Homo-oligomer: A and B are copies of this chain.
Amino acid sequence: MAVQTAATTTDPATVDLGPATALSCRECGHRVPLGPVFACEECFGPLEIAYDFSAYDTEELRKRIEAGPANIWRYAPLLPVPADVATKPNINPGWTKLVQADNLARELGVTGGLYVKDDSGNPTHSFKDRVVAQAVEAARAFGYTTLSCSSTGNLAGAVGAAAARAGFRSCVFIPHDLEQGKIVMAAIYGGELVGIEGNYDDVNRFCSELIGDSAGEGWGFVNVNLRPYYAEGSKTLAYEICEQLGWRIPDQLVVPIASGSQLTKIDKGLQELIKLGLVEDRPYKIFGAQAEGCSPVSVAYKAGHDVVRPQKPNTIAKSLAIGNPADGPYVLDIARRTGGAVEDVTDEQVVDAIKLLARTEGIFAETAGGVTVGVTRKLIENGQIDPSKSVVVLNTGDGLKTLDAVAGTGLTATIRPTLDSFREAGLA
């Protein structure tokens, strides 16, 4: 199996990715040196980063983090990046606001503290900046010159922006008939933006071919051959939430599910903080959120299955529309192990939740944020979330990117420019 792909001539011994020591198979534990590989040569399981954190003193580490920059690099000691990462050109995402959402809490009846982790504050306004930033550092370490991905939205912009700033060539593949607005958001950074005559599956199939071919030499596909590094970026959400709560794990977290990778990495991040002694080891529940129109993990969860049956997505929550989520089984595991759940909401509920969050907290979320807020409301109503305990809800993107979903929102009145007309409209 050609898992070592898009080879570079980098010697693994010279790769400096900080505390990262090897790649380890999530299924069988087989280890290989750090490199641009993503699947285990023994069992085809996904490879993850293995770290050596043994030298860290808890209090020194905490101080080092707290004195670090106001972005993800404050956690450089816990990420697969060199120690001097903050000095390199990078778009420096992270350290986004954890908003104490008291108005929303009142509406939902939450008394134990409700928080929105608002990742729309990232440079390209989605959590993708976190993961791409890791991939950039891995690409640097492995000597790649081109950053690439297939995308239908957020990832294209994140890769384009990060590559521009870091000095990489970028080449992003998208379906050729994407909406013009999304094309502009990806094209503005000046990299290659290639329309593929076909649907998103065709784009992905083509990218897999390219990775295995000599034409893809020197190319780092952020979420394929750089995936083990890329995925670690999601851990920073867990780190930030806990640090922003005063180094405390919240009782309950509601996380969107696309591939499921973000949820599994948030759990990994929490476990690391516990092992490092940075937070108290206390129970927490992780809840997964999907849109009904793409709910393979939610369906499996409710049916009590361990495997996830693929679906053909049909939802306005396009950034979550992965019908065959690679990390679905791990998500089921984590939801069950922590006492959480996986739930889904209709597109109508997604729109309602976007409006609810905007109206109560002034946060305009992408459809994915509508999914998590909507699922939170549903889980409170059905008793699976305990409103007397703390809840953190993730908003992973910005409403400006999915304006179409709320296009019906409009003027509340139209008047002539006179006081009489104003009074008639009952606005005084």
Contact = CB atoms under 8 A, between A and B. Distances in A.
A411 B103 contact: no
A215 B423 contact: yes
A381 interface: no
B410 A193 contact: yes
A413 B194 contact: yes
A399 interface: yes
Contacts of A362: 91, 123-124, 160-165, 189
B197 A414 contact: yes
Interface string A104-127: 000000000000000001011100
B428 A215 contact: yes
Nearest to A160: B362
A43 interface: no
Interface stretch (A206-214, A247-255, A290-298, A325-333): A206-214
A253 to B, nearest CB: 22
A193 B191 CA distance: 39
A184 B215 contact: no
A360 interface: yes
A416 B176 CA distance: 10
A304 interface: no
Contacts of A425: 194
A410 B123 contact: no
Given A188-B406, A194-B415, 13 more contacts: A92-B97, A160-B362, A163-B362, A164-B360, A183-B410, A185-B399, A185-B400, A189-B358, A192-B413, A196-B415, A197-B415, A213-B419, A215-B422
